Structure formats: structure tokens, C-alpha cells
Structure 1
Amino acid sequence: MFRARETGGITGAARGLLHRLALSLFTTFAVACAIAPGAATAQSFSFSRVEVNGNQRVDAATIVSYAGIARGEAVSAAQINDAYQNILGSGLFESVEVVPRGSTLVINVREYPTINRIAFEGNKRVKDEAMAGVIRSQSRRVFQPSQAEADAAAITELYRVQGRVAATVSPKIIRRTGNRVDLVFEVTEGRTVENERISFVGNREFSDRRLRGALETKQAGLFRQLIQRDTLVEERIEFDKQVLRDFYLSRGYVDFRVQAATAEITRNRDAFLVTFNVQEGQQFRIGRVSVTSSMPEVNANEFANALRIREGKVYNPQIVETNISRLERLAAQKGINFMRVEPQISRNERNLTLDINFALSRGPRIFVERIDIEGNASTLDRVVRRQFKVVEGDPFNPREIREAAERIRALGFFETADVNAREGSAPDQVVVDVDVTEAPTGSLGFGASYGSDAGLGFNINFSERNFLGRGQSLSFGVDTTSSANAFTFAFREPAFLGREVTFGLDANYRKSESENSRYNSVTGVVRPLFEFPLGERSRLQVRTALQYKELSGIDLGDGGTDTGSSFILREEEGERWDVSLGYTYIYDSRIVGINPNAAIRFTFGQDFGGLDGENQYIKTTASMTAQTKVWNEEVTLRAELEGGALHYTSGGSTVLDRFSLNGRIRGFEAGGTGPRDLNVTNEDALGGNYFFVARLEADFPLGLPEEYGISGGVFYDIGSVWGLDSTGGGPTGTDPVDDDLHWRSSIGVSIFWDTPIGPLRFNFSNAIMKEDYDETRSFDISIRTDF
């Protein structure tokens, strides 16, 4: 704080003398007023001239205007005091003195100095640029103590958000010549105060660990220096209250309440203890479902048949919202405008069910006047506007506006996105205001790697999710190792020609030299595609592809003990061009996400190749993944099925076309399984025309402190790849080629570790079912992917 210093003092004897003197004067004044009350009159002043001294930057006329005293006007002592207060209140002067001298009013001022420069001292955790961005004091502007104090508070808030609640900031000035000062903010950062423990009171159905996993606020862990969410932010606590409510509501606990959320600092002031006091209530399921209508043109039974909601299912507000949207779409298809769908929910305490009646009624005739978008500095308006399914002049639907707001947030282009509706130019008009704050959407990465197979490698990748502010995504990457080089490119336009159709263009090129094999390969593909929705949870992708494949460098051996590569690979040597058409159907229950504990994803696709008339084939692939959480959502069970078939109607396949089990079954090396030419030295993996894989796994906590970010899992994989177009017999006619169906399986355990560079997965595997020529691997590390 800037404070004036007081000096001097008064002794006790002097104080008593002054007291008696004041009492005597007061008595004399009271007697005089009693004898001659008419003689006491208020003193008045009149000035013919105003003299201003000490001003350098502020014009004298401006100072006189602040005083508000006109020449020749009779003014009282109170008015002179008001003039003093007005001039001082302008905030331009460090000191002000107003002195009447006969017919002249003398105003002496001392202007605040000008800020020469602003500096920050003592800060390490927060950069100068970050602090300069929150203060309002500026160089070459007038220095104001109140503003400097406000700036110090703003800098302190920066530290508070980082968990340094003990940080202090003191503004100091260093006087320079010419009535200038240097403004210095002296910072004492203090230690980071982290969330040492996050606990819950009142939770019976879900453990503290499970609830902590849903919160934005995190408990301090091993990487507390890198993870910022383990510090206390009051705004985040408020957000977490709503997160907890949404968590329980989606699981049928309609009476859930967060009764209190407290954050206590430890005695040593080095950590926070955060406690959520909750009341869970009972879990409710869906009871009787009905539809009623007060509109003559609406058939309630017809709308009831459009519902997709089952009795006995755990209640979830999202189920109700999804079915309301379905009824509103049906009304739009029938040309029924302004139909309002109101869910009427009745509680059945005995059975713990909720009866839901969808009441259809005529809503108010309100139209969308316009949609105003602000805050999008680089993102084009149309990118935000196309998230709305309504346009200017359409009937106003509050539910559609809320869903549009969620779609805008889901883009990932904005840090914040607020969508609100207000009355327009008329009572039946509504203006939708969209206020966004943009977020970074691009990344550039460099990396290096080393593997026993590939050797030393380097990579560079770039991605932009909002290319040129058009909502398009663009990415490319280059990877190089001692035995392979690869380039990838991908582009997506999510609203092709302004419609809900995604246009994509993929291209990749890869060249390898004897990578895990005794042959060289070159592959390249350019693939344009379109993808569009078929239903609420399903999409269809159609594509075409131009591919180039070359197989070369076949090892011929030494004519002795080394027989070289398989005769099958020798027959397939050469280059090939291919043009194909294909499609993929995708069903994903996560798109709607009604069940928070279970999800399923299914894909089925086919590619029809050889459209140039040579080497014609049909390639079919399918996959299904299902996941659910059990035991109070502590354990995740996951099952994955995957298979494919390659059938050539003319010509034949090559090793570059066929399937392999690389990465599909844990416990085996890349190229370590599948059809083999058993007569060659290295037993080359030839791939197969058919494959099938099943993967079963469970993830669960290990009982370690949650802040370590370590959990465990077990898995079981089984599958096979088999079948060649022709074994041929080889040059001798008796060369053994094994392309039969042989099942391979493995079992193992996994360790999951959440690190700042990403969630890592460590697999320890043991191959159970295998062939003698298979190559196994007992340990591998990968990036964990969530379903």
C-alpha cells in the first residue's frame, strides 16, 4: 500500500493545556452567541482572478473548470472546500491546495508523475508477458496509486489460479527526473499450495476414487510440477459441483445434491484439503411412458410409436432429451410448427420408478430474428452458424438452441462459448447471441525413436483442426528410420457444399528396405472420401482409391544353405497399380451416449478393386467393440472382435495386399505369425487372405495412491490369419507352405500409467497357443487408447 508517514508528537502536559484553552474559548463563544445571536454571519468570498500554479500537462482552464467557481460569483467556505475535492477527485494530481488571497483564488497543484517504464521483479513461475497482459498501468501514462494497487491484485490472482495463495505483490515507484517514475511490481511467489486430498462425505454407491475420476479438479500426484489441475481454483470447484450432479443424474439418482464443498488449508499452509459433502438419494428407473396431445391435428399414438424408450431402464435425462428431439423432428416432417413437447414426470416412491408423459401442446409463435456471433477473431461466422439447425425466420426452439450451443463447444475451437436468447425488435422475435473465446487449434511436433528392428528414427508432424478459420482439419507427418521412410497427409471438410457431409482426402507413401523381412516394398495411396449420417448413431463412408504397390529386392540366397526368400514372394515381385471403390458403415452408440456405463461400436466395410480390369478383388472387413463398467464402475470390461476376407476373382494377391496380425494379438512379434514357407532359411511371413481376432480385457485399480496415475489390467487374445491363393509347390514341387488355420492365443497383464506425455501401456504377455515357427514377444510398450 502507498501510505503517508506521520511525524512529531504532543506531550501529556501540553495536551492538558490545550484542552483547558479549548474549553475556555468554547465558553466565551457560547456566551457571545447567547448575547448577540444576530451578529454571527457566514463568511463569503468573491474572486476576480484565479491563479493556477504547479501544472505542467493539465491546462489551467481545465483545472478551473474542475473547481467550478466563476469569477465575481459569491462563494462560501464550503464551496471552496468542494472545489478542492473536485480537483483532487479528478485523479490527475498528487496534491491540491486551494487558498483565498483577497480577490484572488490561488490553486496550487502537484501533478502525478508519468510512468517511465514498468518492471517486474522476483517472478519465476509467471512470465513478465503474462503479468503485463493483466495490468492496466502503461508506460507514458499518468501514474495512479489506486490503479497500481488494482494491478497488484490482478497479478496476485494469476498466482492464486496456479495454487500459490501465499504470493504477494507490492507496487513500488522509483522517481526519475522530469516528474517521471519507474513502476516496479515486487513479487514474492511463495510455494505452490496443491490439493493434497479430495474426499467425499455421504457417498455410498460410488467410491471416492470413482468420483475423483469424474472431477475437473485433481489430486496432487507425481507430476504435480507439470499438471496444473491439482491446484485449487474456486471456479473449478463450482464447475465440479455440476459435474457431480450430472454424473449421478445420468445414473438415475434424481435427488442427488451437493450439500457443501469446502477447501481447508493445512496448518503449514502448504496444501488444501477439499471435501464434497453429498447426498445421493435413491436410484430411479423408468416406469410407464405415454404421450398426450392437446392439438387436434396431432395423433398422440403416432408420436408414441416414434419413442425409443424402455420401461425398467435406469433413468437418464439424456434419454428424455433424445426422445423429445425425436418427437420434434417428426413434427417438423409433418409440417407442424410451434409444437411444444413437455415431459411430465411422476414419481413412484414405492417402486422407485418415474412415469414419463410427453405432453404435446401448441407453443408460442416466436421466430428467430437473427443470430449474432461475437469473439471469433479467426473463425469464420459460417463455421459457427452451421451448428444451428435453424436460420433467421424459422420458429424458435429453445431446445435446439441449447443443442447448438453444445455442438459449438464440441468443435474444440473455443475456450468458452456462451449462447443466449433475448427479445428482438418485436415480442414475437428472438435474437440469439453467440459469444465465443477462441482457443489454439494447431500443433507442431518433433520426435525421435529407437527400436531394435527399425533402428534410430525421427519424425515431424503438424496438425490444424481449424484450418484458415474454416473449420477444416489438416495434418501431415514425416517419419524416417534406417530401414523405412513414410509420409502421411489428411484433410477434412466437415460441411461439404454447406451440407452435413464430410469430404476427406487421405494420402500416404511408404518405402521400406528389408524391414522385418528380406524384401523391399513401396506403397502409396490417394483416397478421396465422403461421409454422411444415416441416423442418430450411424454413418456411412464412401470412397475411391488410387494405389501403387511395388515389391522388389527379393533375396535370392547364396545357392547353398541360404535359400533366400520364399518362392511365393519371388512370383509376386514387381509393381502394380490399382483403382478401387469402397464403403464403410459405422454404428457408434457413443454419439448419443445415453448409457454412461456401456457403449458399442460396429463397422463393416468393403472395397472393390481392380476396376482397371486386372487383379479384381473384394476386400471385406468388420469389427465390433463393446465396453461396460461393473462393480460400481471400478472395473472396465472390454471385448473386441475383428475379422476380414480378401477374395480375388482374377489375378492374385501379394504380400502387400494380404492381412497380417501385426499389433492385433499381443505376445507375438510383428510378422511373427501367419502362413509360412517352411523351406526357406528365414521363414518369411506371407500374410493371409483371411483373419479373425478376439481380444478380451479388464482394467481395474491396483490399490496404489490415486495420484500415481497407475492402474492395472489383464487380457486374453486369440486369433489367426490364414489362406493363400495358391501354394504352388515351389520350384521343386514339394516346398512346404503352411497356410492352414492355426489358432494363436496369449494371456497377460498390463500396467497403465498416466504421464504428462500421454497414457502409457506396458504389456507383459505369454503366448499360449502358437506354432513352432512363430516369433513371440513377452513385453511391449504402447500408447493407451480409450474406447
Structure 2
Amino acid sequence: MARNRTTSGRAGQDRGVIRPAAVSVFLGVAGVAAGLTLPALAQSYSFSDVRIEGNQRVDATTVLGFARINRGQAVSGGQLNEAYQRLADSGLFETVEIVPQGGTLVIRVQEYPTINVINFEGNARIKDENLATLIQSQSRRAYNPSQAEADAAAITEAYRVQGRIAATVTPKIIRRSGNRVDLVFDIAEGKVVEIERLSFVGNRAYSDRRLRQVLETKQAGLLRSVIASDTFIAERIELDKQLLRDFYLSRGFIDFEVLDATAEVTRERDAFFLTFTVQEGQSYSFGQVTASSEVEGVDAADFSNALRIRRGVTYSPSVVENNIARLESLALQKGLNFIRVEPRITRNERNQTLDVNFALVRGERIFVERIDIEGNTTTLDQVVRRQFRTVEGDPFNPREVRQSAERIRALGYFANADVNTQPGSSPDQVVVNVDVEEQPTGSLSFGVSYGVSSGAGFSIGFSEQNFLGRGQILGLDISTGTDNINTQINFVEPAFLGRDLRFRFNTYYRETDNQYSRYDTRRIGISPSIEFPISENGRLEMRYTLSQDKIQNVDRGLDDDGDTDASSIILRKEEDRGALIASSLGYTYSWDSNRGGMNPTGRNLLRFSQDFAGVGGDVEYVSTTALALTERKVWNEELTVRAVVEGGVLNMIGDDSSRVTDRFFGNGKIRGFEPNGIGPRDLNVGNEDALGGNYFAVARLEAEFPLGLPEEYGFMGGVFMDAGSVWSLDDVNGGENGDDPVDDDFHLRSSVGVSVFWTTPIGPLRFNFAKAIEKQDYDKEQFFDLTISTRF
């Protein structure tokens, strides 16, 4: 960067020695010499010769072209002024003089210097090469003060977008020999202007804290040095307005408006006070929901039965849109083309309900002529096309096109995706245009993790969400901890055979050297699966798993003090069986009430899985697990309450007993206990290893709530209560010789505790403080648990 003494080169400097007023003086003198009378400017003049002086790079013809004055041409004083202005505005000359000398008009110019080099000084946040793409001035071109000012404004705008509204850019020139200059943009970046206070006016149903969670813009807080969303960006306000509208509309506030959004800068110009003025209105619920038909021969009764809206449920536009799509899909199944569904809403002010009538009407006979896709340099056309439910030649449905656009954006492959339509080759044809902008979809991550139970660990991961532009997912993860190694490769084809079939192939290798037990394990396996929808909210996954599990390094001797420290004979017998191969078929059914995201205040989830081992291999069993979850946001969505019930059963087939690699341990299910801290345990041997159980059942209740700290700090509080147990063994003959029974009965364990949640840019942190209430004497408690996951 240049460091020489500089002189101002602003566009406001004088661009000519003689201004238009001075020209008229010259004309007056010329008029007297020629025996003419004043006023000179009102008369015409003729010059027998026009002489150009001072031009070096610009030829005389070009100068005359700007002046538009020819020899012998009659010109007025006003035309001479205009000639001067055209030359001055051409951007080619630093000074311009128009001097009448008798019958000769002298045009004397001094050309702008040539730009030698362009430098940027004072910039740290934006690199030189990025700034160079913003300016129009170029090396080896004529220097133009107006263009330099415009370039300075473009650089200033780039800083403003980053929240540095106090940034200033001053273009300066350094004179060099040979009529050359160095152009220097002197940049004072200033500080990031943050949102010091984010507040709302007019909100009654929801607190400022709750509404701040909705916005993309965040209030500056404890982590202001690493949070970018607390920077003031004017363009983000419009997005915030839309997010507020969507939030309130999804909760039945159909009259909601954002009346104003005011950003006030502090006196020091280092922060903003951003205030949203809103008008909430009242929240409405669904009243009477019906379907009617205005199409001859179409019975509305079938369509009424397909509606999925309950009376009294809070009104939401997304619920209406979902039911419209369901009815239009039903019409297509019945072979009814060009049927449109119009929601007709009647407001009931007295009871604050909305009656909705889904009217079936005849739509226009318009067909999709073709679908054009542009901008996808990496992603294949078929990946974009399969997001459409219609193809060329199908009836045109505007709602389906809008939903297809949303599905394309949801892929995450594109920074921008615009879907629009235009008339086709005939009045009954339409062309759908898809214009996308690719964005990176791969990532390489290195991480450090720490857990109270797992210790410190390192990980490396590679992930590509759009492998070879086919929309496939490829992932590789390798992680190591204090006592484990975990490696897995994952491949997903989301549209197997061109249908809504999600094919997954997973292979893994895991080793454990657990500090909480006196044995190690090694597991190797592959598991292909396929997943597909079986209802609006339900999905089914079917899988095959082939694995080899081995138990090793079971303690069999004495400890360092010569005391007996052997593991239970149950574990020793399981190690003696060697590496066993398990070949199983399995399935998982899941039902999620919020799969479409239509209920922002609640969720119900059911999951049921079974694996049947014995399709070849060395072991035969049936493993069953189930989970039920319900979650609600209450007290104006300030408090989230959650209840979870889950359990599992392992049934061995034949004479074989289960092994620790197959049984349940309940790790992480009941807080307040160490990993392998509960369940059947052989108390007749020195190390008292946990053995796991064939059954487990757990119930968890928890609540999350704000702690009263500023929302932007990311802290939330929580309380919880867990209860459950792990129990039942096939072989209860323990001790060192198998002649001491092991207690494998059901014993209830329970705990209560508090949690602190901290959402940070480096990942979510959770601090649990738990106290075991119901326990056995041999259980191993754990009062504190912390999990940190850091990626960089």
C-alpha cells in the first residue's frame, strides 16, 4: 500500500480555470473588437478557426466532438457555455478554457492524469481483493474524480452492510511523473454498530423476550464480539417484520400489523435502538369447517371427510393451506382436473372464531408446457424437477408451484431460488421458470468435545449434502475419546428409484475401553435401510443389520494388592463365546404431529422399533423399543413443558443368553447416575461390574423457562424429574464360580434436578445438577454433568 504524502482528489474540486460566467467576458471583448454591440450573449458569432491546445492522449477530433463547434459555424454565447460544460463533464479533462482570440476560438484543456496503481489503506475487515471488485476506477485508465467518489460510496456501502455505518472512505491521489497518479482510498472502518436495545410497543399477548426470539436481528449482549446477528443491518428489518407477521398469524392473530419499525442511532453513533410498533388484534380459533361444491357432478361429501381441522383449534394459515392441498390432491385422485379449492372465511366477532368453507370451483384450463431450470451449475436438473408434483403436460396449479418453490429452497443447496411463471406458446399453456444460485454444500470439520462421563475427545468429519450434484448425502465421522473410538460412514439417497423413498447405508466401527467397567467391547457393522411415508405424519423405516460384536479384556485375576478383583463369571462366559455375528431385520415406525410444522406451540411424537435377529448369524433375539413424547409451550410460550416415556424389551430365542453388547443400560436416561450406574450388578465379585438388563423403562418430566437474564445471552433454566429402572437377566448365576445369585429384580430409581441451558455460537451447552432420590446401595451417583461440543 502507498504511504506517500497525498493530496485531495475529490470530485468537488474546480474542473476548469474559467467558469461559464468568465466565458461571457471573453465574448464581450471579442464583440467590441469586431465592432459589435452588447449584450454579447444574445448575439451569434462565427470563428474562422478553432484551435485545440494541451491535449496529449485525447485527439483534437474528440475534443471538437464534445464541444460541437465547427469552423465557420454561427454560435451564441449560450452555446459556448454549453460547449464548456460538455467538455468539463466528459470526465477527460482536469481544466478547460474556452478563449476567443479574434476570429479564432482557442480550446485549451489539461487532461486528467492516468491512474498508475490503486491502493487501499486502513482496511482490515474487507480484503483488498474484495474491495477491488467494488470499484470502477482502473489502472492505466484516466483518473476521474466523480468516479472515485462513486467508488468511495460503493466501499462505504459494503461496510454499511456489515453494520459499520460510521465507516468513511476518502479517495486521494499521489502525483507521479508523466502525468500519472496513484489513487488511494483511505478507509476508516469504524466499529460495528450493534443493536443496543430491541424493544416492542403495542404487544400484550407476548412479552418482549418472546418476540426477540422470533426475530433474525438480535440484541447485543455478553457475546457481542462473536455474534453477528446483533449488528444493525437495515435490510434485515423487512425480514424481521415478516417473521413477526408469520409468528402472530400462526397463532390466530389475523389482524396483526407491524405499524412501524424505528431505528434510532445513539449520539456516539456506535449503537442503535430498534423499536417495533405492533398492533396485535385478537386471536381467533376455527369455528365451523365445511366443504361445498360449485362444480356440477362433484359431491362435496367425500371432500368434507378429508378435512383435518378440529373446531376450537387456533387458526393458522398453514393449516388451511395444508387442507387445500389435501383436497386438491383428492380431486386429482378422482380424475377431476382443473378443480381449485377456495377457502371462504366468515368472521364471528362475538366468539372470536372463523368459519371456513372450502369451496370446490372450476379453474382455468391451463397446462404446464415446460419447466425450465437455470443457474444449477452443479446440481442435476432431476434433483430440482423431483420437487415438483407436476410435470410437462399436467394441469397448472399455482398453489403446487408455490409449494414446489418452498421445497426447492428447503433443500439447502441454493443461496437463492426464484420460481415464476410466464405465458407459453398458446393461451392455455404456461412455462414455469426456476432460477437458482448454487451455494457450497460440503463441510470439513475438526472438533474437540468434553463430557463428564466420556472425558475429552477429538473428532474429524466430512459431510457433503449434495454429493456429485445428485442430492445425495455422504458423511464420514471419526471420533476418539478417553476410552472409545467411533468411526462411521453414512450415505443417503433421498429419492431412491425416483420416488419418495429414502435409502440409507451406514457402516461403523466402535471400540470402548470404558472407565466405568472392567471389560472392553468391539463392534463392526453395516446397516442398509429404506424409509418412506405411510401417512401424512407417519413414516416407516425398514432395515437390515449385519454386525459382529466382541467382548474382550474381562478381568479374571488379582488386582495390584493381591486381592481378588475378577469380574463376574457371567461376563467371563460371555467373553468366552468370542466374536458373534448378528444378522437382523428391523423396522421403525414414527408418528410426529408436527412433521409439517403446523403447530408451533406443541408436539406429539411416537416411535416404535423392533429388530429380529436370527436371519443367519450366531444369535437369535427380538429387541423392541418404544418412545412417546409430548411437548407444550404455555404461559404465553415462556414456559416449555415436556413429558417422555420410553422403554425396551430384549427377548432371546432359543437357549442362548443375552450379552452386555445386546442388553440395555439406561445410560443418560435417568440423570443423577453415572453411565452403567444402575441395573443388575454382581455384588459377589470385587469389581461389581454393571451387567445391564433385558428390560428398561423410564419416565421423564422437565420444564424449560427464562432465567430473567437478557435473551441475547442465550441462557435458559430448567427443572426435571426422572424415574425408571433397568432389570432382568437370562443368567443370574454370578460370583466367581457361578454359585451366587444376582439380584435382577425391578428396583425403581428416581432423581430430581435443575439444568442451565446456554446457547452459544460454539454449540449448545447443558449443565445438569441432579440428586438421586430412589436408589440402591450399590448404584453409582453423579451429581453434575456437563456436555460441551466445540467445532472450529
TM value normalised by structure 1 = 0.90
Q: Distance in 2 between matches of 1:624 and 1:347?
A: 37
Shift of the 114–385 alpha-carbon distance from structure 1 to 2, 3 Å rule, reads farther
Q: Residue 607 of structure 1 is aligned with which of 604, 607, 611?
A: 611
2:44 counterpart SS class: coil
Sort the Cα spacing of 1:106 and 1:368 in 2 relative to 1 into closer, same or farther, 3 A: farther
Q: Specify the code of the residue in structure 1 equivalent to 2:716.
A: S
Q: 1:89, CA displacement in angstroms? A: 4.5
CA distance in 1, matches of 2:51, 2:391: 65
Per the TM alignment, residue 101 of structure 1 is displaced from its structure 2 partner at its CA by 7.4
Distance 2:169 2:747 in 1: 72
Match of 2:635 in 1: 631
Contact 2:44 2:74 in 1 (8 A): no
Contact 2:452-2:787 within 8 A present in 1 as well: no
Change in Cα spacing, 1:285 to 1:6, as seen in structure 2 (3 Å) is closer
Task: State the Cα distance separating 1:455 from its structure 2 match.
Answer: 5.5
Deviation at 1:435, TM superposition (A): 3.0
Compute the displacement of 1:110 (Å). Answer: 4.2
- Aligned-partner residue type, residue 362 of structure 2: R
Question: How far is 1:755 from its partner?
Answer: 1.6
Listed as ranges, the matches of 1:659-674 within 5 Å are 659-674=664-679
State the Cα distance separating 1:464 from its structure 2 match.
2.2
Query: Which residue number corresponds to residue 303 of structure 1?
Result: 303
Structure 1 79/327 Cα, relative in aligned 2: closer, same or farther at 3 Å?
Answer: same
1:272-283 matches, within 5 Å, as 272-283=272-283
Could you tell me how far apart the structure 2 residues matched to 1:94 and 1:577 are? 87
Which segment drifts farther, 638-647 or 384-393? 384-393
Task: Report if aligned partners of 1:55, 1:109 keep a CA contact under 8 Å in 2.
Answer: no
Question: Structure 2: which amino acid aligns with 1:136?
Answer: Q
Write the letter of the residue equivalent to 1:306. Answer: A
Query: Does the 8 A contact of 1:501 with 1:531 survive in 2?
Result: yes
Which residue pairs with 2:46 in the alignment? Answer: 44
Deviates more, 1:249-258 or 1:183-192: 183-192
How far apart are residue 323 of structure 1 and its match? 0.5
Note the C-alpha offset of 1:277.
1.1
Deviations 1:441-465 (A, max 9, x none): 3322223356676565322122222
Residues 678 and 735 in structure 1, CA contact (< 8 A), matched pair in contact too: no
CA distance in 2, matches of 1:287, 1:304: 15
Deviation string, structure 1 residues 684-717 (Cα, Å, up to 9, x no partner)? 1111111111111000111123232212110011
Q: Residue 209 of structure 2: SS of its match in structure 1?
A: helix
Q: Residues 571 and 423 from structure 1, CA distance in 2 versus in 1: closer, same or farther, beyond 3 angstroms?
A: same
CA distance in 1, matches of 2:338, 2:309: 24
Deviation at 1:117, TM superposition (A): 2.6
**Counterpart for residue 743 of structure 1:** 748
> Structure 1 residues 241, 464: CA separation in 2 closer, same or farther (over 3 Å shift)?
same
Identical-residue share of aligned pairs (%):
60
1:263-662 to 2 correspondences below 5 Å: 263-449=263-449, 456-558=456-558, 561-573=563-575, 574-612=578-616, 614-650=618-654, 651-662=656-667
| Residue 11 of structure 2 is aligned to residue 2 of structure 1 | yes
Cα offset, 1:431, TM superposition: 2.6
Alignment partner of 2:767 out of 745, 758, 762: 762
List gaps (5 residues or longer) in structure 2.
Answer: 1-9, 19-24
Q: Counterpart of 1:12?
A: none
Residue 734 of structure 1: CA displacement?
2.7
Q: Which is further off, 657-666 or 133-142?
A: 133-142
Per the alignment, residue 56 of structure 2 pairs with 55
Structure 1 residue identity aligned to 2:567: S
* Kept after mapping to 1: 8 A contact 2:566/2:736: no
Question: In terms of mean alpha carbon deviation, does 760-769 or 105-114 score higher?
Answer: 105-114
Secondary structure of the 2:312 match is coil
Report the CA distance between 1:223 and its aligned residue.
0.6
Paired letter, 1:173: I
- TM-superposed CA distance for 1:761, in Å, is 0.9
Cα deviation for residue 126 of structure 1 reads: 3.3
How far 1:98 moved relative to its partner? 6.0
* Residue 93 (structure 1) shift: 4.0
Paired residue type of 2:563: T
Count of aligned pairs: 765
> Greater CA deviation, 78-87 or 512-521?
78-87
> Structure 1 residues 342 and 769, CA, compared in 2 at 3 Å: closer, same or farther?
same
707, 715, 721: which is aligned to 1:716?
A: 721
- Specify the SS of the correspondent of 2:690: coil
CA distance in 2, matches of 1:678, 1:614: 30
Segments of structure 1 that go 5 or more residues without pairing to the other structure are: 10-17
Letter in 2 for 1:585: Y
Q: Give distance in 2, aligned partners of 1:446 and 1:729.
A: 44
Picking from 685, 691, 706, the partner of 2:711 is 706
Superposition deviation, residue 417 in structure 1: 2.4
Aligned counterparts of 1:652 and 1:377: Cα–Cα separation in 2: 57
User: Closer, same or farther in 2 for the Cα pair 1:343/1:452, shift >3 Å?
Assistant: closer
Whole-Å separation in 2 of the counterparts to 1:461 and 1:193: 36
Amino acid at match of 2:586: G
Q: Aligned partners of 1:604, 1:644: CA distance in 2, in Å?
A: 10
Partner of 1:115: 115
Cα distance in structure 2, aligned partners of 1:136 and 1:377:
28
Residue number in structure 2 paired with 1:782:
787
Aligned letter for 1:54? N
CA 1:6–1:147 in structure 2 vs 1: closer, same or farther (change >3 Å)?
closer
Contact 1:292 1:358 in 2 (8 A): yes
1:14-163 to structure 2, matched below 5 A, reads 42-45=44-47, 54-56=55-57, 58=58, 85-86=85-86, 88-96=88-96, 109-163=109-163
* CA distance in structure 2 between the aligned counterparts of 1:619 and 1:376, rounded to whole angstroms: 45
Aligned partner of residue 151 in structure 2, secondary structure: helix
User: 1:50, CA displacement in angstroms?
Assistant: 7.4
Offset, 1:82: 5.3
Q: Is the 8 A contact 2:580 2:619 kept in 1?
A: no
Between the aligned partners of 1:452 and 1:340, the Cα distance in structure 2 is: 58
Q: Which residue is equivalent to 1:246?
A: 246
In structure 1, distance between residues paired with 2:740 and 2:649: 26
* SS of residue paired to 2:594: helix
Q: Point out the more displaced range, 423-432 or 273-282.
A: 423-432
Q: Whose relative contact order is higher, 1 or 2, with alpha carbons under 8 Å and at least 6 apart?
A: 2
TM-score under structure 2 length normalisation? 0.90
Q: CA distance change for structure 1 residues 146 and 393 in 2, over 3 Å: closer, same or farther?
A: farther
